[in-house]
């Protein structure tokens, strides 16, 4: 059973430097050697879905530089179909400069580069020129917001017209305008972490306090059939058509939570594409998210389907 997932999203090169403490403005701090890693929420979730057994196609843009070439070969190694990942002449590949302090506190500077140019016209060009066939051969569409909201909206609209469900991980949370409101209305499954959920509730004029299940229910009023809020080590809550759901985090030795949200989103998307009931899908997603915290790095930490199955086995799969 290979669910076919279409991801429209960002690709970045992450450059990480570990330092004793974050520099103050104007200060220089020496750290360890810089480590290069593939990143960007679009690419991370595409790779996560491929490791979890999905047939994954990524739509995005790279610059025509060395980083772009490295990211493309990384996708190839992971078995992600990158034929709809374009190379934009004269543009730089998205770059994240990440500085991590000893206690894990970090600061990130992002240069979106080519990702910024993924507009609706690029989307149509990269996927064969016919918007009506955009989601052909896909069981589900997975979006994040490191690409322009207008692009995500165009993708979600085309998916809705074709009867394909859209999962939106609204991260990072952009300003709440008409376009974002429309995008959420075209979204079937909305996934947020606590800070994104709080930001959206506040911006939409909804109560941003009270128990999480009630807050997820309020967000469901914006249109999605299923709203999921991830709660870090505490797992996740959701509001579905059949009412509230929740699953605790799996007790693991967490060393680095980077990548947990991406693994969670990919696992939930694949499970829902396979018509798994939401409660079971939530459990799989929590398992995948928890496993991603047991290893350092973003894509390097993403678990495989076998690892998720092993973690779930004592509970009966």
The site for ligand ADP (CB under 6 A) is made up of: 193, 230-233, 235-236, 249-250, 252, 254, 257, 260-261, 264, 286, 289-290, 293
Residue 190 and residue 197: Cα distance in Å, rounded?
10
Shortest distance, position 310 Cβ to ligand ADP, whole Å: 16
CB count in 10 Å sphere of residue 109: 10
How far is the CA of 196 from the CAs of 4, 9, 55, in angstroms? 27, 18, 28
Question: Which residues does the annotation mark as catalytic?
Answer: 262
Per DSSP, the chain holds a count of helices (H) and strands (E) of 10, 13
Q: Nearer to ligand ADP by C-beta: 85 or 285?
A: 285
Strand extents, DSSP E, 242-312: 243-247
SS3 category, 226: strand
Q: Nearer to ligand ADP by C-beta: 69 or 300?
A: 300
150 is written with which tokens? 């207008």
Shortest distance, position 184 Cβ to ligand ADP, whole Å: 17
Shortest distance, position 103 Cβ to ligand ADP, whole Å: 15
Q: Nearer to ligand ADP by C-beta: 16 or 293?
A: 293
CA angle 62, 259, 284 (to 5 degrees): 120
φ and ψ at 192, to 5 degrees? -140, 150
- In the block, residue with structure tokens 């991830």: 230
Contact 18, 92 (CB under 8 A): no
By residue count, the chain amounts to 317
Shortest distance, position 249 Cβ to ligand ADP, whole Å: 3
Find the helix packing angle between 41-51 and 260-273, rounded to 10°. 60
Q: Nearer to ligand ADP by C-beta: 4 or 215?
A: 215
N- to C-terminal Cα distance for the chain? 16
Shortest distance, position 90 Cβ to ligand ADP, whole Å: 33
């Amino acid at each position: 059973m290979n669910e076919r997932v279409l991801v429209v999203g960002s690709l970045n090169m992450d450059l990480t430097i570990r330092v004793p403490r974050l520099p103050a403005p104007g200060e220089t701090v020496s750290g360890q050697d810089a480590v290069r890693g593939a990143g960007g929420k679009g690419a991370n979730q595409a790779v996560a879905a491929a490791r979890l057994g999905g047939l994954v196609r990524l739509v995005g843009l790279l610059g025509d530089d060395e980083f772009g070439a490295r990211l493309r070969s990384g996708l190839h190694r992971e078995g992600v179909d990158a034929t709809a990942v374009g190379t934009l002449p004269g543009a730089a590949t998205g770059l994240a400069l990440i500085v991590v302090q000893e206690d894990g506190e970090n600061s990130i500077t992002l240069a979106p580069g080519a990702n910024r140019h993924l507009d609706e016209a690029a989307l149509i060009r990269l996927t064969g020129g016919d918007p009506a066939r955009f989601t052909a051969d896909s069981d589900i569409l997975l979006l994040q917001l490191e690409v322009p909201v207008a692009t995500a909206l165009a993708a979600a609209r085309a998916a809705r017209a074709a009867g394909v469900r859209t999962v939106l991980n609204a991260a990072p949370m952009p300003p709440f305008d008409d376009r974002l409101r429309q995008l959420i209305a075209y979204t079937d499954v909305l996934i947020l972490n606590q800070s994104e959920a709080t930001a959206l509730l506040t911006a939409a004029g909804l109560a941003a306090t009270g128990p999480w299940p009630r807050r997820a229910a309020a967000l469901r009023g914006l249109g999605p059939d299923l709203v999921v809020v991830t709660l870090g080590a505490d797992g996740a809550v959701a509001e579905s058509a059949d009412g509230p759901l929740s699953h605790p985090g799996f007790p693991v030795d967490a060393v680095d939570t980077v990548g947990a949200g991406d693994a969670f989103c990919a696992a939930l998307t694949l499970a829902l594409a396979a018509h798994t009931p939401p409660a079971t899908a939530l459990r799989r997603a929590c398992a995948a998210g928890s496993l991603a915290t047991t290893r350092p790095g973003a894509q390097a930490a993403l678990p495989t389907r076998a690892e998720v199955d092993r973690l779930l086995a004592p509970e009966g799969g």
